[in-house]
Amino acid sequence: MKHQIVIIGAGTAGITVAAQLLLKDKNLDVAIIDAAQKHYYQAAWTLVGAGTYNYKDTERNMGDLIPKGVQWIQEYVEEVNPDNNEVVLRDGTKVSYDYLVACPGVKYDYKQIEGLEETMNKNQVCSNYVDPDYTWQCLQEFKGGNAIFTQPATPIKCGGAPQKIMYLADDYWRKQGVREQSHILFITPGGVIFGVEPFKSTLMKVVERKGLQLRFFHRIKKIDGENKRVYFDIVKEYDKLSGICYNYRDTEKEEVVEGNVMIEFDMLHLAPPQAAPDFIQRSKIAVQEGPTRGWIDVNINTLKHNTYSNVFALGDAAALPTAKTGAAVRKQAPVVVENLFHAIANDGKLNNDYQGYSSCPLVTGYGKMLLAEFNYEGERDSDPILSKIFDTSKELYPMWILKKYGLPFMYWNMMLKGRA
């Protein structure tokens, strides 16, 4: 089996690139490989987990979204062999290509946290990344105690998601009258709540207003779901625990011994550790050494592979030093598409315009959101038109409307059709 352009993954990146390619030239021979029957708008799962969005509304049949004119190969990828210009499927079929676009997304690597696989989606251990309906169930069943929100030390998609559900949970529990009996803790391996100003300052005001406790430099290592205990290693030297925390208060249900922390929880929400799919990690298109080992090795501005000139990558599996979001894909896709056409024409040109744009719609409560947009330099990179109307670094109701209604509409009706 041979195709001019083979795309691995029919997620946000794969479908957007396929749609844009065929809008420019409907005669291209494009195939997309993905075994999934359903496609999800995962950006709304934060709202599902807070009871303000229906999970079914985030789901579509994959077959309805694959652009007409694209051959959909419904199978899993087993190997990528760039030296032979071929992809090997799980059933043994070899698919040859002239050009490869790799955008397979990430896998959840539960084994990186001891006990996570056994307790995920039970024992009040939940994740909006995995089952937002169960998160909503946990929020409703919570009657006070320790509510812990955390994230792993790996890169994760939508880096703001672990804290967004915390802000919504605080709102919900205040309405239910259980907030007074609760400790809410955000425990992170990082050293800040958010890395870009002025969004960081706004979020710290939210944390202060809500009375949330932040604990920094804590890496989650083990969950004992049955006994409702979670264990962390402190990854920075410290004199006293309060020195690496904000709003520190002892929960009276914890032990700290030489940089190891155990806390009892009544609810635990986490983002699972994430990695590139196994077939990417063991392939030659992955970075072979260093801190980005296992992610796809592409130029950060052109999204062209650093070794194989007919390979491109975008989306969550690419080794790009920016946040893994759908908004990033929206800016990456046109660069990949243009560079594919340059490669086909063999004209020596290259679009190097991608500067690391990503955005994180940070919901801070029901009816409140700020829109953090930034680039590789960690600088604010807000949309110039939107910024003339709104200060997107503030908590605004119009931004909430954008999140709940505007962005889903744009996703299904424009982005996945190659028009945004």
Distances (CA, A) of 356 to 104, 228, 245, 324, 339: 19, 39, 30, 10, 17
Total Cβ atoms within 10 A of residue 240: 9
291, 146 Cβ separation under 8 angstroms? no
Q: Which of 103, 126, 138, 360 is catalytic?
A: 360
Residue 360 annotated to the active site: yes
Distance CA 170, CA 147 (A): 10
Cis omega (within 30 of 0) for bond into 384: no
Q: Which of 103, 126, 138, 158 is catalytic?
A: 158
Query: What's the angle, vertex CA 212, arms to CA 208 and CA 218, rounded to 5?
Result: 120
Closest by CA to 202, choosing from 330, 55, 380, 28, is 380
Question: In this structure, are strands 229-234 and 218-224 parallel, antiparallel, or unpaired?
Answer: antiparallel
Residue 138 annotated to the active site: no
75, 33 Cβ separation under 8 angstroms? yes
- The residues that are catalytic are 158, 360
